[in-house]
Amino acid sequence: MPVEKILLTEAADWLVRMQSGAWSPAEQARLEQWQSRSASHAAAWARAQGVLHAFGQLPAQSGQNVLDTLGRQDRRRTLRRLGLAMLATPVVWLGWRQLPWENWSADFSTATGERKNVTLPDGSRLALNSASAVKVAFSSGERRLHLIAGEILVTTAAERAPVYRPFIVQTPQADIRALGTRFGARLSDDSTLVAVFEHAVEVRPHGGGDPTRLEAGQQGRFGAAGPLQPTAQAPASLAAWEQGMLAAQDMPVGQLIAELARYHRGWLRCDPAVAGLRISGAFPLDDVDASLAMVTRTLPLRVRRITRYWLTVEQG
């Protein structure tokens, strides 16, 4: 059996044990020791964390009703098979975290919780947010970036005729052509969010149709067939992540926690019962625990820590 499959199987076993209801500090210590054996062990468990995150999106009783009808051995066997199936299915994972080996084709990438600033060969500046990956494809005819995962902020360098080359960011849904600009692009499931902070961009969906021009201060979400929502205002706070901050102005706490989850190495979710509470403030992205402490000091909430990696924000 290939080493990768062996490690994924072991990760699935750990997942089942964690779900069994008999998890203890000693078990947690053994899991952490297993993870530390090699980078491959850590990557296998990171993929298992994606499975846990996927579980968090299921209705609360969707699987429990079935599992409750099974005996203990059948329940463990079912959980293990489900864990293995999900660990073997890239689609489940890709919605939450980009696998390290998925980034091998990228020229620049970041891990969960990491940000990076890069100067491109033409002098343009590229900032990568958490869990992001970019491939650079500059040629004599154009300057093209392929956004593979995550979110970027681009400040383009000017080129003069006769050597002018258009600057294009390509995503799975559209080509974004810079018109002397500073702008951001963020992948989310089957769409691309584009926000312009200086000058303008032209967004051309891969499915055809007319291009959309976004001016400074505007944002739009695009699918392969075109805009998915009307053009809206793009607050400057959308780029605050470059400075390591998350700026919230009367934001639903569920949205805030979803944003912080992008920087947490594990599973962080908000109980839907409290997700509608509103909050404002500036939250540090490099210290998610500190940001969560700010939330619980501001609102009547608490953080339930199932493990150091598995956190739920709920009613205090």
User: What pLDDT does 48 receive?
Assistant: 66
Query: Do 177 and 288 belong together in one domain?
Result: no
Same domain, 248 and 309: yes
Residue 150 gets the label, from left (phi > 0), alpha (psi -120 to 50) or beta, of left
The CATH number of the domain where 220 resides is what? 2.60.120.1440
54 inside domain: no
Mean pLDDT of the chain: 81
The answer to the question of residue 85 being in a domain is no
Give yes or no: residues 269 and 163 share one domain. Answer: no
| Residue 80 counted as domain residue | no
| Model confidence, pTM | 0.68
Q: Are 274 and 164 found together in one domain?
A: no
Whether residue 84 is contained in a domain is answered as: no
Q: Identify whether residues 221 and 283 lie together within a single domain.
A: no
- How many Cα atoms within 13 Å fall on the side-chain side of residue 131? 23
- Residue 245 to residue 253: CA distance in whole angstroms: 16
Task: Give the separation between CA 247 and CA 230, rounded to whole angstroms.
Answer: 23
Q: Mind listing the pLDDT tens digit for each residue in 36-72?
A: 888 788 877 776 665 555 444 333 333 333 334 344 4
Whether 260 and 206 share a structural domain:
no
In a domain, 76, yes or no: no
Asked whether residue 88 is assigned to any structural domain, the reply reads no
pLDDT band of 229, cuts 50, 70, 90:
confident
Would you say 211 and 202 are in contact if contact means Cβ atoms under 8 Å apart?
Answer: yes
77: in domain: no
Q: Which of 194, 216, 236 is the last residue of a domain?
A: 236
Q: Once rounded to an integer, what is the mean pLDDT over residues 3-19?
A: 71
Closest of 171, 162, 160, 209 to residue 193, by C-alpha: 171
Final residue belonging to a domain, choices 236, 265, 284: 236
Q: Is the pLDDT of residue 11 over 80?
A: no
199 and 310 together in one domain? no
Q: Nearest-CA neighbor of 315 among 297, 307, 303?
A: 303
- Domain shared by 222 and 259, yes or no: no
Q: Please tell me whether residues 126 and 166 are part of one structural domain.
A: yes
Mark whether 1 and 42 lie in a shared domain: yes
pLDDT in tens, 260-272: 999 998 889 999 9
Domain boundary among 236, 259, 283: 236
Residue 288: band (very low, low, confident or very high) from pLDDT cuts 50, 70, 90: very high
The answer to whether residues 116 and 29 belong to one domain is: no
The 10s digit of each residue's pLDDT in 240-286 is 999 999 999 899 999 999 999 999 988 899 999 999 999 999 999 99
Q: What is the 3-state secondary structure (H, E, C) of 79-129?
A: HHHHHHHHHCCHHHHHCCCCCHHHHHHCCEECCCCCCEEEECCCCCEEEEC
Q: What's 260's domain CATH number? A: 3.55.50.30
Higher pLDDT, 217 or 84: 217
Q: Mapping DSSP to helix (H, G, I), strand (E, B) and coil, where does residue 277 land?
A: coil
Establish if 14 belongs to a structural domain. yes
Number of domains in the chain: 3
Same domain, 221 and 133: yes
Q: CA of 183: how far to CAs of 29, 141, 195, in Å?
A: 44, 22, 6
- What is the domain range of residue 17? 1-46
pLDDT tier at 126, thresholds 50, 70, 90: very high
